[in-house]
Structure 1
Amino acid sequence: MDPSPSAAQRRLLDAARDAFGAKGFHGTTTRDIAAAAGMSPAAVYVHHRTKESLLFAISLGGHEASLRALREAAAAADTPTEQLGAMIRTFVLGHTTDHTLARVVNYELAALAPEHRATIDALRHDIQQLIRGVLADGAATDEFDCADVGMTTNAIMGMCIDVARWYDERDAWAPERIADHSARMALRMAGASSGR
């Protein structure tokens, strides 16, 4: 995706994100996206050759932003316990405050073309390895009592990602509260010494 999209491109990406979030990739037409963006269907093709390329641009931007935010959260903390807490808080906040984007990038993966799916899978692997690395560091120093780092990584990631599926801004739970609760749950799952 262009690192600095034009106003028209941004409008188009936002319209596609909202349409995919509401109707799913296969339930959305290019005409739906064009209408929501205030463009003609022909204008969509000036920026993106296919509906799938729009999905890829949205997914790429979302995954790159998540990876960047997680790296920053980890770098700002000192111990594995602090790092894991900060990372999960950050990850879940992203999945609540921009839950439509999070739903699209996590639940429309099957609609990506194979070469685009490979790019996104590599980013998802990097995110997974970042969390796994912090868990492994904590286990190595006995800060975490984590018998299976790989399985715990998958469980924590699944918990974080799934927030986008059930979160509703009309509920009483604020994003910050959900993020804090998720961070505490992740630390328990890791067997953090502070929770034992």
Structure 2
Amino acid sequence: MTEQSPLDLWPDVQPDAARRLMAAAVESFAERGYHATTTRDIATAAGMSPAALYVHFPSKAALLFAISRTGHEKALALVRSVAQRPEPPVVRMRELVQEFVAWHARRHLVARVVQYELTALPPEEFEVVAGLRRETERVVREVITEGQSSGDFRVDDVKAAARAVLSLSIDVARWYTHSTGPDPGELARAYAGLVSRMLGAD
């Protein structure tokens, strides 16, 4: 299995050249890091001239922001969709972790850029993304709190537990590769079991 193409993450981004630049930036940032990547690197990978990049994005930072914002929006949407299911909290948490981990494994290049290049964003853009991260954590806290109330979970600090759940899942993008890593589904099930035990579920 190979990395899923990032192009289908942005079906609403037009024109197609802008989507190609975002995909090329993901590959370049993941390989070199944001600061070591030039606009020429990105444009060349997209099959364009460096000047063409500025037609669609005013700067390299604006390109990173577009990638990071949409990535966090999709992560939040995924977490919300699972959290709103009618199952008991313990089941929803297992499903949430499985889907969140699998997403970070299947799209590890995109996730690596989205999750680990935040400090390169300008302050205003950083705050937008930080707000999405806080909301994602809030949704996870709600599920854990429900589990506490129902007796499914036994944790001393709900906030710390929510951060631990998300950190464990997100960290997959840092080390995962399709050539060396386990199957994303298998990995996701293993992590869901770890989280269940961490939260004190039977």
Partner of 1:46 in structure 2? 55
Question: Residue 37 of structure 2 is aligned with which of 13, 17, 28?
Answer: 28
Partner of 1:71 in structure 2? 80
Preserved contact between residue 90 and residue 179 of structure 1 (Cα < 8 Å): yes
Matches within 5 A, 1:13-162: 13-162=22-171
Stretches of structure 2 lacking an aligned partner (at least 5 in a row)? 1-9
TM-score by length of 1: 0.95
Amino acid across the alignment from 2:39 = T
Q: Per-residue displacement from partner, 1:100-152 (whole Å, max 9, x unpaired)?
A: 01110111011000000000000000111111110011011211111211111
Q: Per-residue displacement from partner, 1:129-177 (whole Å, max 9, x unpaired)?
A: 1111100110112111112111111111111110101111112510001
Aligned counterparts of 2:61 and 2:177: Cα–Cα separation in 1: 27
Q: Per-residue displacement from partner, 1:62-111 (whole Å, max 9, x unpaired)?
A: 00011111111222341101111111111111100000011101110110
Q: Give the number of aligned pairs.
A: 193
Aligned counterparts of 2:167 and 2:118: Cα–Cα separation in 1: 15
Preserved contact between residue 83 and residue 140 of structure 2 (Cα < 8 Å): no
Secondary structure, counterpart of 2:103 in structure 1: helix
Preserved contact between residue 92 and residue 178 of structure 1 (Cα < 8 Å): yes
RMSD in angstroms over aligned alpha carbons?
Answer: 1.4
Stretches of structure 1 lacking an aligned partner (at least 5 in a row)? none
Runs of 4+ displaced beyond 3 Å: 1-4
Partner of 1:167 in structure 2? 176
